Structure 1
Amino acid sequence: MNDEQLTRMGHGAGFIAALDQSGGSTPRALANYGITEGAWQTEDEMFDLVHRMRTRVITDPAFTADHILAAILFQRTMDSEVEGLPTAAYLWQRKRIVPILKIDKGLQDAQGGVRLMKPIPDVDAVLGHAAEGGIFGTKERSVILEPQTLGIRSIVEQQFDLARTVLAHDLVPILEPEVDIHAPDREVAETVLLTEIRAGLDTLEDGQRVIFKLTIPARPDFYAPLIADPRVVRVVALSGGYSRDEACERLALNHGLIASFSRALLEGLRADQSDEEFSQTLGASIETIARASAS
């Protein structure tokens, strides 16, 4: 584990850029960027297009460590290059931005009010490859749809089981048990989730630390106990389907909570923009999210 990166993740100003759209979400991300499905014939061509989009973001002059703490990458992005360097190496060596890898393989069908993660084949090989490639930590997402205690408990247990595997590879896990913003009785779901997370933290060994990526809570500062917990490096927030403006407005009400936005970060970027227009749009987005993260 890189101590400089750990310090930056725990105490640095800014937010995390989520650039980890996977196979299922890539067509939507490209469509938002102005590239429709007719622009590619094969999956490889699709991923080449999205890598060009991510490369344009990562190499842009507005994308700097002044406001970007870390970037979450899809595995194919990690295994690709930016300006002749592996993506993770480019981020850290050229920009001092911490590289993180998304490792989940999507979601199972809903059961018990939740969607658990699908099994991750060869997870130890994936984590070993990530560690060798200079990755700091991982991100793994599951979703809570209803306030069912047993379902939420199963989500949290699965997240912590995977977190222990990640920690064994000297990587820092980001646990992401997302609460759907449209969930009925969402505050009840978040209350159960917080209780289960605190129980899960008690299962960690001495010295083990994790990061949480959570839905911006319905009640401001609800996750303050997690933010203050010494076993928690950082608590970050997903945009969860809110527009960038609404996500930032809600985020700013939560002291110590910082953003880890994907769609909201890239909102307004288009393939046909000039470099100047692209940089201005990205820079404005970064400034807005950074301000909301500084509360």
Structure 2
Amino acid sequence: MNNHQYDEIKNGKGFIAALDQSGGSTPKALAAYGVPEDVYSGEDEMFDLVHQMRTRIITSPAFDADHILGAILFEQTMDRKIEGKYTADYLADKGIAPFLKVDKGLAEQENGVQLMKPIDDLDETLRRANERNIFGTKMRSVIHQPNRSGIKEVVDQQFDIGKRIIAADLIPIIEPEVDINSENKEQCEEMLRDEIHKHLNNLPEDENVMLKLTIPTKANAYKELIEHPRVVRVVALSGGYTRDEANEKLKENEGLIASFSRALSADLNANQSEEEFNEALKSAVVSIYDASVNKK
């Protein structure tokens, strides 16, 4: 593990950029960027275009270590290069820690939750992640309803896989997202907090995790998780909130920093000039940074 990156992630000021749209979400990400589906044919062209988009973001002067602590990558992005360097190495040279999305998407909803699909090639993926100088990983489940057994199953699965990631000398980001449209969102969050806390208390002193959670309905609901000695950092997903909404909610939560995707890239467009693109990205980066470090 890179000790300098660990220290920056744990103690630095900034946020985590999420650039990990996968096969299912890539067409939506490209469409939002101004690239409709009728301009490319097949997955290869699609992934080429999304890598161009990510390259434009990562190489922008607005994407800097003064504001950004880490970036989450899709597996194909890890295997591609930016200006002749593998993406993780390019990020590290900028002072930004690289993370890798390792889940294979969501299973169908059952017991009010969506577990992760099986990750059959996890050991091989983790081996390659170490070869590519990845710092940590991320994996997402979704909670829709306050079903205690379903939420327990989500958290059990996350920590079971998380332990395998720790054994590979990587830091896992545990991401049990709570759907922002859940009619019982606050109740889901209370159950989720309690389940996570049980698992954290059972971790030995040499095993640490990060958490990526939906911004809670009740401000500072995750304070005890943020302060737990086994937690490196707690980051928040935007979850469908606009950037302004997400930033305002984030400011109410002490110690919680952003890990936004759509809220980061919403104003970026393929047809923008470099100056327009960099200004739009800078505006987003500065506002998200401010919400992460300056609290109400």
Judge same fold: TM > 0.5, yes or no. Answer: yes
Query: Could you tell which deviates more after superposition, 204-213 or 259-268?
Result: 204-213
- Name the SS for the 1:109 alignment partner: coil
Q: Which amino acid aligns with 2:268?
A: L
RMSD of aligned alpha carbons: 0.6
Segments of 5+ residues of structure 1 without an aligned counterpart are none
Moved over 2 A (4+): none
The residue correspondences of 1:10-159 to structure 2 (distance < 5 A) are 10-93=10-93, 95-159=94-158
- Is contact 1:147-1:184 (8 Å) kept? no
- Is contact 1:214-1:236 (8 Å) kept? yes
Q: Which amino acid aligns with 1:51?
A: H
- Name the SS for the 2:202 alignment partner: coil
Question: Which residue number in structure 1 is paired with residue 174 of structure 2?
Answer: 175
- Is contact 1:71-1:98 (8 Å) kept? yes
Segments of 5+ residues of structure 2 without an aligned counterpart are none
CA positional deviation for 1:115: 0.1
Cα distance in 1 for partners of 2:170, 2:153 equals 23
Cα distance in 2 for partners of 1:182, 1:52 equals 32
CA positional deviation for 1:206: 2.2
Question: What per-residue deviation string (whole Å, max 9, x for no partner) do you get for residues 183-234 of structure 1?
Answer: 1211111000000001111232221110000000000011110111111000
Cα distance in 1 for partners of 2:29, 2:231 equals 31
- Name the SS for the 1:44 alignment partner: helix
Question: What per-residue deviation string (whole Å, max 9, x for no partner) do you get for residues 60-98 of structure 1?
Answer: 0110000000000000000000000000000002x0100
Q: Percent identity?
A: 56
Question: Which residue number in structure 2 is paired with residue 206 of structure 1?
Answer: 205
- Is contact 1:137-1:172 (8 Å) kept? yes
Q: Which amino acid aligns with 1:156?
A: V
Q: Which amino acid aligns with 1:193?
A: L
Q: Which amino acid aligns with 2:139?
A: E
- Name the SS for the 2:174 alignment partner: strand
Query: TM-score under structure 2 normalisation?
Result: 0.99
Length, aligned pairs only: 294
Question: What per-residue deviation string (whole Å, max 9, x for no partner) do you get for residues 14-35 of structure 1?
Answer: 0000000000000000000000
Question: Which residue number in structure 1 is paired with residue 227 of structure 2?
Answer: 228
Cα distance in 1 for partners of 2:268, 2:180 equals 25
- Name the SS for the 2:123 alignment partner: helix
Query: TM-score under structure 1 normalisation?
Result: 0.99
Cα distance in 2 for partners of 1:267, 1:252 equals 20
Cα distance in 2 for partners of 1:60, 1:70 equals 15
